[in-house]
Amino acid sequence: MRDVAIIGIGHTKFGRASKTSLELFSEAALQAVDDAGVDLKDIEALFQGAALPGFEEGQVTPAAFSAAELNLGGGSIPATRYEGACASASIAIREAAEWVASGQCDMVMAGGVEKALLMGTLFATRIFAMACHAPTEGPAGLTFPGVFAMAARRYSKNYDIPLDKLREQMALVSVKNHKHGALNPLAQFYKKMGDLKVEDVINSKLVADPLTVLDCCPFSDGAAAIVLCAAEEARKYTDDPVYILGTGQGSGGALSKMKDLTKPDSRIKSARMAFKHAGLRPSDIDVLELHDCFTIAELIALESMGFFEWGEAAEATTEGQTESGGKIPVNMSGGLIGKGHPIGATGASQVYWIVKQMRGEAAKGNQIDPVPEYGMTDTLGGDFGTLCHIILGRGK
């Protein structure tokens, strides 16, 4: 198997888009080929994450249409939509890396796109809930915030943290991620909510007890794309290639079959797979973009990936260990909460911001100093149904 490098990246502004999904993805794709200095005709295959396009624009096989409209590879190349709910783009990137590693292709594009804002909160809540286990969680009326609210209550119970105290600790995740989102010109909440207070989060509208609307990421439109090639060719195109050192993927079942909502096996196994593949440990990672779909989700992710012991991520967040300068800076882009969460694009957006960090090109106030050597993404689809991790490095 060959080593794989990222040589070009693209990312639209997240938020409300008047463009179609096809146009959004094209914007990101064109940015990515220009960034790489390659031609659209050089792309041999497209791997596109898109979770719910049928419900958003009445569109399936979006990858084929994207490839056709961009004339990728001169036309008629393999172009496939990947669906793993909110982890769609990450599994698309993982698959793209495998194709290059195997020698099947020399240069490919991966990424994702979503237009979720146009559906409005109630319909978007409905179709997002399709990533819950429909036979059992459907009639119970579970929603995504509902799942993570249940997990938050379990976290409080498991570690004997009074719920009011946990709510304050969770709120600090929102405060931190909004602080960084407000500094990110491509974020949905750019220049907004940068000085959010814990009380603002706790006193905002309850969505699913104990989560308020400010414990939740927003619905968003947006796209992101990357160009990958064989590592040995990467320096022909760029002085700053970023290498894919390891990937992992895991799957989970119905919520009721999980041993513990705060310790998802799918995430634990996926993260271990990625670390093993990369030959690295959590202590080697300098910067992390993780799936903070809800504040509690950031805490669960940090523990499941091995950055903190079980039950210690809440206190670590309070101590600033997940901020710039802390043990492990988390979501310096603003994360899903501050930057926005166009679900099919999120994994590619996470990779984009790790690459930006490694080039020293993250927004002022969000850039890690010194430039990180190793970064990692964590993406979660459904209620722990699809998990994917990608470990990136400036060197092989």
Partner 1 sequence: MTGKEQEEIEKEYKEYTVLSLSEYEEGLRNGKLLGLRCASCGGITCHPMPVCQWCGGRSLKRVELCGDGELTTFTVIRVPSEGFEEGAPYIPCLVKTKEGPCVVGRLDYDTESATQELIGKQVKMSGTHTCKGDKFSDGAHTCPVFKIQENKL
The answer to whether the beta carbons of residues 221 and 346 sit under 8 Å apart is no
> What 3-state DSSP class applies to 303?
helix
Binding of partner 1 by 146 (CB under 8 A): yes
Tell whether residue 118 is a contact of partner 1 (CB under 8 A).
Answer: no
> Annotated catalytic residue: which of 86, 105, 132, 217?
86
Distance CA 335, CA 216 (A): 11
Assess contact for 156 and 149: CB atoms under 8 A: no
109 versus 211: smaller Cβ distance to partner 1: 211
Q: Are strands 46-49 and 107-115 parallel, antiparallel or unpaired?
A: parallel
Shortest distance, position 131 Cβ to partner 1, whole Å: 12
**Tokens standing for 121?**
């909160």
Q: For residues 69 and 134, which CB has a smaller minimum distance to partner 1 in the complex?
A: 134
The answer to the question of residue 395 lying near partner 1 (CB under 8 A) is no
Single residue of 32, 36, 101, 255 touching partner 1 by CB under 8 A: 255
Residues 85, 386: contact at Cβ < 8 Å? Answer: yes
Backbone φ and ψ of 222, nearest 5°: 165, 170
Residues 208-227 that bind partner 1 (CB under 8 A): 208-209, 211
* Least distance in angstroms from the C-beta of 134 to partner 1: 7
Q: Is 136 in the site for partner 1 (CB under 8 A)?
A: yes
Query: Exactly one of 105, 341, 388, 389 is catalytic; which is it?
Result: 341
According to CB under 8 A, which one of 129, 187, 290, 296 is a site residue for partner 1?
Answer: 129
> Exactly one of 230, 254, 280, 368 binds partner 1 (CB under 8 A); which one?
254
Residues 149-168 that bind partner 1 (CB under 8 A): 149-151, 153-154, 156-157, 163
The Cα-based distances of 249 to 176, 265, 266, 267, 273 in angstroms read 27, 11, 8, 8, 7
Going by DSSP bridges, is the β-strand pair 386-393/242-251 parallel, antiparallel, or unpaired? Answer: antiparallel
Residue in 18, 185, 239, 256 binding partner 1, rule: CB under 8 A? 256
Is there a contact between 184 and 338 (Cβ–Cβ < 8 Å)? Answer: yes
User: How distant, in Å, are the alpha carbons of 26, 68, 189, 219 from that of 65?
Assistant: 10, 5, 30, 24
Alpha-helical (H) ranges within the chain are 21-36, 53-56, 62-69, 88-102, 120-128, 134-140, 144-158, 163-181, 198-203, 265-278, 295-304, 313-318, 335-339, 346-359
Draw the binding track, 272-311, toward partner 1 (x: CB under 8 A; -: no contact).
Answer: ----------------------------------------
Examine residue 51 and tell whether it contacts partner 1 (CB under 8 A): no
Q: Which of 76, 134, 191, 365 binds partner 1 (CB under 8 A)?
A: 134
Residue of 61, 125, 204, 318 that binds partner 1 (CB under 8 A):
125
Adjacent-strand bridge partners of 243? 5, 393
Sign of the Cα torsion 197, 352, 345, 186 reads positive
Query: Is there a catalytic annotation at residue 86?
Result: yes
* Contact residue for partner 1 among 58, 139, 185, 370 (CB under 8 A): 139
Taking the complex as a whole, how short is the minimal distance between the CB of residue 4 and partner 1, in angstroms?
34
Sole binder of partner 1 in the list 165, 235, 236, 257 (CB under 8 A): 257
Among 37, 103, 138, 279, binds partner 1 (CB under 8 A): 138
Considering only residues 60 to 79 of the shown chain, the ones binding partner 1 according to CB under 8 A are none
Rounded Cα–Cα distance for residues 298 and 207 (Å): 18
Least spacing, CB of residue 255 vs partner 1, in Å: 6
Among 96-104, 126-134, 222-230, 288-296, the segment contacting partner 1 (CB under 8 A): 126-134
Of 225, 215, 144, 224, nearest in space to 187 by CA? 224
Q: Which residues bind partner 1 (CB under 8 A)?
A: 121-123, 125-127, 129-130, 133-143, 145-146, 149-151, 153-154, 156-157, 163, 205-209, 211, 254-258, 261
Mind telling me the catalytic residues?
86, 341
